[in-house]
Chains A and B, each alone.
Chain A
Amino acid sequence: MGEYFMVVLLDDQRMSKIRGTGLEEHIKYMFGGELRLLEVKVSEELKDKILQEFDTARVDSRGAITDVPVAFMRELFNQVAEKKSLGSDVVEAVLAKVDEIKKAAEKESEYLPPPEIE
């Protein structure tokens, strides 16, 4: 069975939401520590489910699942923060909302909510 994962990027806003959850020790760094990220585990079965539900999704050479809708990625972070977990339960919870995500994804080609910075 292969090891798959999804990358959750962390900016300052997201960092503030996971502070104290115990997830901090799993943070990985790129670009000299400037880019922080978490890797969420994805089982073989869930990987297949993602590829089946979202036709843009791809698996790269490292086993990272990419090119899913933005709504999926947002929900992925929400579930990480809520469950305080990086295990397969996170993606499972995201996929439980697949209809909602697909609906949001349909609108994504015309509208994306801008981030709240001044």
Chain B
Amino acid sequence: MSRFLIQRPLPHGGRLVERVITDKEAAKKMIKGCPSYDIKPTLHYETGVPVRNVYREIMSICYGFFSPVEGSMKQAEVERILKERRLLNEWIFPYPLVFDISEEDYKQLGVGPGDRLVLNLKGKPFAILDIEEVWRIDNPEELAHLTFGTPERNPEVVREPFNKKHPGWVIYRSLQPVVLAGKYTIINEPKFRSPFDRFWYPPRKSREEFDRRGWRTVINHQTRNVPHVGHEFLMKCAAFTGDVEPCHGILVNAVIGVKRRGDYPDEAIVEGHEAVNKGGYIKPERHLPTIVLWDMRYGNPLESLLHGIIRQNMGCTHHMFGRDHAAVGEYYDKWATQILWTKGIPSYGFPAPPTDVPYGLDIRPQNMREFSYCPTCKEMAYSETCGHKREKLSGSFLRGMVAEGVQPPSIIMRPEVYKVIVKWWKHFGYPFCNEKYVVNKEKELEVDLEDL
């Protein structure tokens, strides 16, 4: 065996967190006589629009995407994350994750440390929270600033102060004051609706799938978009990194969560990626589109850290990062993520990259620039190797084309992918997320639950 072969990393923290009870009788016994609470969406602190649903965090924690996190965080843990991006068990982690409720709900529930709270979703028992601590968020605005950083405190990468135009900042600003901290356990497995059901590969299942396919090396592609040919080339070409041969697999992991107007619908995103392999542009044997539930915080370098954790837990050896990774607006340097993974960002607690600090990550970053069409090379060319003037493919140009009902040429968007956009366009009456889609999505969520 070559000493250069890269092996699949262990989950972050050493073992996968799995907190899902599948035995319904056992689950019923576990919740007998316990108080219950209907999960409510987090509403925008000014507009009242849903901006987050904690059910997505409970799913991602209990199925191990966020290993080694096991529940809603205690105050000391949140404080440590804000200071040095570490959990109390030392492992690195970027964001506070809490189960927050209003003072009124807290008073009405009358629960405290040692109590087990049943969490209902869509009127059905879904999970339990074993409360270990109750603490309060005194100043959500300060929490929001501490979560993302400020130009003064994080001069390496933060360019503008965060404000209510940043959807991630709004999530933290909108949290309720009472935090119930403790471990979550899912007691009634939700069922994903089509088309999401066939993209659900939580870490244990994805690792088994990699084994089945004989994938030792796997590179992840983060997405929140319907893929155009520029994305396709990033996926295919980043995979060449590998070890003694290109990566065996390309994992596409779409972040599914609260939507913003103008995004593509999640249904079109997952089926659009699937269409890339059904059309043979990337061999299905080498390509697997999947999902993770998460209301994006758009924290660029911090978000990339979470992405690294999720995909290492899923069994990936490599992670592709591009420009403006998981970014919105101009809050961060557009290369902030690549700076984190090549040099580190000391002000966030990383004097070295997250792969080079104690209790850090094992997944390897693959930092990429962009692909665009070169009329001289007559091919999709890489910005750092082609020396010609290229025809840039901007997302807004493509969106304008789609909105106008003009089919993009296949060198820009594969016809199979465009068909998926039109399929969901006909379904929703709109090619992008409109008000109705955004509101309905947070009402219906991605799952249904049976009676326990």
Residues in chain A within 8 A of chain B (CB atoms): 9-14, 30-32, 34-35, 66-67, 70, 73-74, 109-115, 117
Please tell me which stretch of B191-199, B348-356, B427-435 contacts chain A, meaning at least 4 of its Cβ atoms lie within 8 angstroms of it: B427-435
Contact of B391 with A11 in the complex, beta carbons under 8 Å: no
Contacts A9-B406, A70-B403 given; indicate if A34 touches B430 (C-beta within 8 A): no
A interface secondary structure, majority? loop
Which residue, B373, B401, B406, B431, has most C-beta atoms of chain A within 10 A? B406
CB distance from A106 to the nearest CB of B (A): 13
| Stretch with Cβ within 8 A of A (4 or more), from B63-71, B270-278, B407-415 | B407-415
Chain B proximity of A117: nearest CB distance (Å): 6
- Please tell me which one of the listed residues A66, A67, A74, A112 contacts residue B425 in the complex, with CB atoms under 8 A apart: A112
Q: What residue of chain A has the Cβ atom nearest to residue B229's Cβ?
A: A31
Which residues of A sit under 8 angstroms from B41, Cβ to Cβ?
Answer: none
Contacts of A70 in B (CB 8 A): 403-405
Contacts of B406 in A (CB 8 A): 9-11, 14, 115
Question: Judging by beta carbons under 8 Å apart, are A114 and B405 in contact?
Answer: yes
Is the CB of B419 closer than 8 A to any CB of chain A?
yes
Cα(A117)–Cα(B407), bound, Å = 9
Minimal Cβ-Cβ distance residue in B for A34: B409
Residues from chain B with Cβ under 8 Å of A67 in the complex: 400
A58 → chain B closest CB, angstroms? 11
Give the interface of B toward A (CB within 8 A). 261, 373, 375, 378, 391, 400-401, 403-412, 419, 422, 425-426, 429-431, 434-436
B411 touches A32 (CB 8 A): yes
5 tightest A-B CB contacts, nearest first? A34-B409, A115-B405, A114-B425, A34-B411, A9-B406
Contacts of A109 in B (CB 8 A): 261, 434-435
Q: Is the CB of A31 within 8 A of B373?
A: yes
With A31-B412, A115-B425 given, can you name 7 additional A-B contacts, CB distance below 8 Å?
Answer: A11-B407, A12-B407, A31-B409, A31-B411, A34-B410, A66-B400, A110-B430
**B429 and A111 contacting across the interface, CB-CB below 8 Å:** yes
Please indicate the chain B residues that have their CB under 8 angstroms from the CB of A115 in the complex: 405-407, 422, 425
Whether the pair A31, B422 counts as a contact (CB closer than 8 A) is no
From A34, A66, A114, A117, contact of B431 by CB (8 A): A114
Can you give 23 A-B contacts (C-beta < 8 A)?
Answer: A9-B401, A9-B404, A11-B407, A32-B375, A32-B411, A34-B409, A34-B410, A35-B412, A70-B403, A73-B400, A109-B261, A109-B434, A110-B434, A110-B436, A112-B425, A112-B430, A114-B425, A114-B426, A115-B405, A115-B407, A115-B422, A115-B425, A117-B407
**How far, in Å, is A62 (CB) from chain B's closest CB?**
13
Minimum C-beta distance from A7 to chain B (A): 9
Q: Are B373 and A32 in contact (CB under 8 A)?
A: yes
Residues of B within 8 A of A73 (CB): 400, 404
Min CB–CB distance A16 → chain B (angstroms): 13
Which A residues touch B430, using CB under 8 A?
A: 110-112
Contacts of A112 in B (CB 8 A): 403, 405, 425, 429-431
* In-complex Cβ contact of A34 among B400, B401, B403, B412 (8 A): B412
